[in-house]
Amino acid sequence: MSAAHPPAEHPHTSTGLDNAKLAMWAFLGSECLFFGSFISTYLLYRNVTGDGPTSADLYDIPYTSISSFVLLMSSLTMVLALSSVQNGDRRAMRIWLMATAFLGLTFIGGQVFEFTTFVEEGLTLSTSAFGSSFFVLTGFHGAHVTIGILMLLGLTVMSSFGRLGPDDSRPVEVVGLYWHFVDIVWIVIFTVIYLIPSG
């Protein structure tokens, strides 16, 4: 059937919005509540440190700021990936996708390093309610970034095999939505965890 349509045309829908995009928006709405609940848990427990280390003992704000900046930059490369493919340049798109994934990986690397440091300094999942809520909140965010990276790499590979459909832009756009969301959530988490002083 697609033969009957010019390649760039999306299938018609009642609203004119693309189904996959709409689904992603709905999913992200759901994710808001997901992270919202974890953030609330963290806010409840950020001072419940028991005998373990407190946030003041642990947080290295310049370090985390840098890795946050890296993640933010990945949103920029994601935008560039999308605009390349919309201009029909698939090669550039693949490069930007890989750049995005690389920045995401850097962020994850930073998080892994941060987690190890904290564990060395005595904060684990079971040290205190603070420890539990910190690791689980940031850990779930990290998991989201990881899934995002898998999707980015998947897109890159599929695009090089020409398996992204008539025009590569739709899946890229949908994954992009997800990626930007994960970034924005990080900004909220970063603010709540690192910037709001506890006490």
Partner 1 sequence: MATAVAPQQGGLFARPTAKTGWWSWMTTVDHKKIGILYGVTAFFFFIVGGVEALLIRAQLATPNGEVLSPAVYNQLFTMHGLTMIFFVVIPMGTALMNFLLPLMIGARDVAFPRLNAFSYWVFLSAGLFMYSAFLLGGAPDGGWFGYAPLSLDPVTDGMTYYSLGLQIAGIASLAGAINFIVTIINMRAPGMTLMRMPVFVWMTLITSFLLLFAVPVIGVALWELMFDRLFGANFFDPAAGADPLLWQHLFWLFGHPEVYIMILPAMGIVSEVLPAFSRKPLFGYPAIVFSGAAIAFMGWGVWAHHMFAAGLGPVANSAFALSTMFIAVPTGVKIFNWIGTIWGGSVRLTTPFLFSAGFVSMFIIGGLSGVTHSIVPHDAQQTDTYYVVGHLHYVLFGGSIFGLFSGIYYWWPKVFGRLLSEKIGKFHFLLMLVGFNLTFMPFHILGLLGMPRRQYYFPANRGFEVWNLLASIGAFTIAVSILVFLYNVAVSRKKGEAAGADPWDARTLEWMTTSPPPEHNFDAIPVVRHRDDFWYRKYITTPEGESARVFAGGAASDEEQHSSEAASDEPPSSSAEGASDREPNTAGAAPPESSSEERPHAGASAEEQGHGIHLPSPSYFPLLTAAGMPVIGYGFIYSPILLAAGAVMLLVGAFGWVLEPPAEEA
Tallying the residues shown for the chain, one arrives at 199
Residues 156, 150: Cα–Cα separation, whole Å: 10
Helix orientation angle between 90-120 and 61-86, rounded to the nearest 10 degrees: 160
Is 87 a binder of partner 1 (CB under 8 A)? no
Residues 65, 180: Cα–Cα separation, whole Å: 18
Please list the alpha-helical segments (H only) found in 60-123: 61-86, 90-120
From the list 109, 166, 187, 196, which residue makes contact with partner 1 (rule: CB under 8 A)?
166
Is 6 a binder of partner 1 (CB under 8 A)? no
Question: Tokens for 80?
Answer: 């560039």
CB of 9 to partner 1, least distance (A): 10
CB of 73 to partner 1, least distance (A): 27
The answer to whether the CB of 170 falls within 8 A of the CB of 18 is yes
What's the DSSP call for residue 4? G
Q: Which residue, 103 or 137, has its beta carbon nearer to partner 1?
A: 137
Question: Tokens for 95?
Answer: 């490069």
Q: Which residue, 17 or 61, has its beta carbon nearer to partner 1?
A: 17
From the list 8, 165, 195, 196, which residue makes contact with partner 1 (rule: CB under 8 A)?
165
From the list 126, 160, 191, 198, which residue makes contact with partner 1 (rule: CB under 8 A)?
126
From the list 103, 129, 182, 185, which residue makes contact with partner 1 (rule: CB under 8 A)?
129
Neighbours of 62 (CB within 10 A): 7
Binding site for partner 1 (CB under 8 A): 1-4, 11-17, 19, 22-23, 26-27, 29-31, 33-34, 37-38, 41, 44-45, 48, 50, 125-129, 131-133, 135-136, 140, 154, 158, 163, 165-166
